[in-house]
Amino acid sequence: MFRKILIANRGEIACRVIATARRMGIATVAVHSDVDAASKHVAMADEAVRIGPAAVAESYLKGDAIIAAALRTGAEAIHPGYGFLSENPGFVEAVQAAGLVFIGPPASAIRAMGLKDAAKALMVKAGVPVVPGYHGESQDPTHLASEAAAIGYPVLIKARAGGGGKGMRLVTDPDDFAQALESAQREASTSFGDPACLVEKYITHPRHIEIQVFGDSQGNVVHLFERDCSLQRRHQKVIEEAPAPGMPAEVRAAMGKAAVEAAQAIGYQGAGTVEFIVDGSGPLRPDGFWFMEMNTRLQVEHPVSEAITGLDFVELQLRIAAGEPLPFRQQDLKINGWAFEARIYAEDVEKGFLPATGALDHLHFPPGVEFMRGAVRIDSGIRQGDEVPPWYDPMIAKVVVHGPDRAAALNLLSTTLERCRIAGSTTNLEFLTALSRHDGFRTGEVDTGLIARDLDALTAATPLPAEAPALAALAALNLLDPPKAPDPWDQLTGWRGWSDAESFAALDHKAGPLALRVLHLGNRQFRVTGAGFDTTLALLDHRHGAVRFACDGLQSVAHVVATADRISLFLSGHKHDFTRVDPLRAAEHDHAGGDAILAPMPGLVASLRTTPGARVTKGDALIFLEAMKMEHILTAPRDGIVAEVLVAEGDQVSDGTVLVQLEPEDG
């Protein structure tokens, strides 16, 4: 076994690999960019080496710098994690040429599955069913459009390299094909260095079911059952589960056999995932699944398969890379219970799931148990106080739960998500909770279109209970904390000979401004009125941010996180954010209004689609902004004429930058 390994990655997956290596007595080396110098994975590792500035191309994609770091520190092997260089056959060959071991499949296997068109051709030869579509070499837009017409709409444009939903566009109208193709090619080029795309038939009620496989250097290949990854938005997975609901034994056997044959066809070693698109219009059947692609690495969602098999996949990777055979045969593997994984992201659901940044002022997860030992597991590469940087994937944590059956595991997932508390950055936590309680999902009726169909209900604003603004006002006025020591005079707090003492708090909430009047009733009781609210609260206790209070005879607990400019309140499984208002600035006018297109996040201007003087219609695509490895389309907020274009292609812009200014409507 290896004495020391280097992890060529960052964040959650780097921490995940280090945890297993530490348990096995293997020393670890982390690599980091400048912005990750003080990150969690660096702190966990035994050693760390700087490899470059923040930009991925200048740090985590620099294979030569990573190999040099391994040689410098005496590491014997390199674990690639997922993303970055994990599926780069040239990197694998360079690692081996340097006398190091790559903890993953051989370069030939990665190369065989690296391009989706070539992989599908290989699968046809191996007898594995594939989705109908065009997988040829031509990238001429006219030719691809004609192939799409022949296939029949809707179609899916897919980058032939990479994965993770990048370079993928669903097209339902032939008139939209050209723009969708151009956008997919540009995103594919940015993410994978290869703009080529293929076109496939879009299955109208698809389920995304994948099979976990492992192979060793002795030629043994097994599958470790399936994961259902159908809950997706923008072709990216949101919640995964294992096993798949409604999976008959004969279909599991057929899909497992196809996945093993796919792996054997390329001499696969290590951990891999064979992804299938499955017809979800009715019961699953042995002839209703088709090969999509193979991910020649560890998957983000591997913990759900670990949970139902009781295996540590990273340990298996390490043992296989060290030359050991698989310690089991197919007939030895059994499914135990049910598991779910939910991905918590820094993203703004109300703005179309746009990535968010910012410092994590507060980060609390429900108490889990020791790694790999219990029902709740939190995998995270970030800590309280850390920044969510704009350079990398904005995932904060993965919440993994395991129960004896699907209903029990899903209930545990909902409860765990409700008890997570994150302040300082916008997250998708409430969306995940709503999704975990979705009626269709709870009954196992899942397909990749579920989120899109029910998006309005899943993202509906949470009503603001009267206790929330009342507690926020008390927090803004520093009235939540009890006196340092008991004082009999406290009984007279708020007493006046002619009236009750009062204070005023000005707050902003997404529902609108809140001007609140706080009456001091004495004995830590307050009446808060204003903005349509009238609430009387009695404060009972306040410890470590947890405020116990009584309202109309009902005792409850809220968690309050207050910073210089924001108050975040966690109450009954919901988060309510309030911004402190400076009275001297409350009347400032927002000069941009509906006349400007602002950058919703830090990013790179990938493409401009307008010029000064152009007439635009509401909804027209004006700017393509690349941020956090995805491309986002910014559109005209109204009909009008472009007055100014304030950026150029290739510009790096910050959050809130005015990119395009329209002429005033009365101009």
Q: Residue 201: in which H helix or E strand, if any?
A: strand 197-201
What single-letter amino acid sits at 645? V
Quick one: CA dihedral 126, 314, 419, 423, positive or negative? negative
Task: List the one residue out of 522, 527, 422, 428 whose CA is nearest residue 470.
Answer: 527
Strands 362-364 and 546-551 come out as unpaired
DSSP 8-state symbol, 106: -
Evaluate the omega torsion of the peptide bond into residue 154 and state whether it is cis, within 30 degrees of 0.
yes
Find out whether 665 and 595 touch, Cβ atoms under 8 Å: yes
Find out whether 162 and 192 touch, Cβ atoms under 8 Å: yes
Catalytic residue status for 297: yes
Q: Which of 160, 297, 343, 406 is catalytic?
A: 297
110: alpha, beta or left, given left = phi > 0 and alpha = psi -120 to 50? alpha
Distance CA 1, CA 321 (A): 9
Q: Which residues contact 136 (CB under 8 A, 6 or more apart)?
A: 117, 147, 198
DSSP 8-state symbol, 555: E
Distance CA 270, CA 292 (A): 20
Find out whether 73 and 236 touch, Cβ atoms under 8 Å: no
Give 37: exposed, middle or buried? Use CB within 10 Å, 0-12, 13-18, 19+: exposed
Q: Which long-range contacts (CB under 8 A, 24 or more apart) does 647-652 make?
A: 647/605, 647/608, 647/623, 648/605, 648/608, 649/605, 649/606, 649/607, 649/608, 650/604, 650/605, 651/604, 651/605, 652/602, 652/603, 652/604, 652/605
Find out whether 511 and 464 touch, Cβ atoms under 8 Å: yes
Largest CA distance in the chain: 92
What single-letter amino acid sits at 509? H
Q: Which residues contact 170 (CB under 8 A, 6 or more apart)?
A: 154, 155, 156, 157, 202, 235
Strands 546-551 and 554-562 come out as antiparallel
For the annotated catalytic residues, the residue numbers are: 297
